[in-house]
Structure 1
């Protein structure tokens, strides 16, 4: 055997031993013993669907009129229908809303609510309820509402908002699109 082959085998052997030592040290010094396994959820947390919907048809909205202006909920509901959202019959809100809007939703509608925030240029107050069931997002229109954002404004607002955030007391549900 030539000297070059012996030298190559020695180098490969040293690299293999170094790799084994590195892996053993990494496993022994691992400090993530309390980490939650992928797809797991800490005790007391609920799974929240934080995936942005691909199409407006995947989002269901119920609009409430939180102002003294008659017919406002009907008008906004029609605007959402024209933008291909699923809508429920509009209603009157129990109390008046001072801001642009108030959005109420639960864990199954986190991604949908994130998208809808962009239609209000992130000026709607959000009220997440971890005990709420269903994918419907309730929107109470307030006295400062003027109109829904255009598609360009929605896209710009979504860029500013970034990826949907997991609400406090929740963890991200497994991605259904990967299944």
Structure 2
């Protein structure tokens, strides 16, 4: 009886998680404002330099083409068939700053990331629902979670792969492997 109860609870939690995932994606896509006709003609650039969040503005000089989270990100990812890379953190996060210094400030890593995905930087304090959803995904799939929280999403906005801090060489290797498979 106890095994059956546990199985039912586990199935309910999984169903709730999938429903919540579907609900977030649908709400984002349904409120999307379309990009101009040809987004490829508009190369991405880092959009965070003047951001009101001190954490996001700190990434304004990174060579990564950071975007602010919004419906246009998913629309562009669909149009270009690119993954979405969401990196969530906060201003006083030690490992967030280490990853910025080691990886996001490195031109080679930035080039790989910019080619593979639409990079999105999130301040977890401003986008707490998104951060919570992605940290839950990462915890469930890897058994660990924390910040910086880095999650690759499909062009439709579904979580694909989540991780926390990775040293530069490991992150670069991961980007290279993903690029060869996507």
TM-score after normalising by structure 2: 0.28
Larger Rg: 1
Which one has the bigger strand percentage?
Answer: 1
Which one has the bigger helix percentage?
Answer: 2
If asked which structure has higher relative contact order (CA below 8 Å, sep 6+), I would say 1
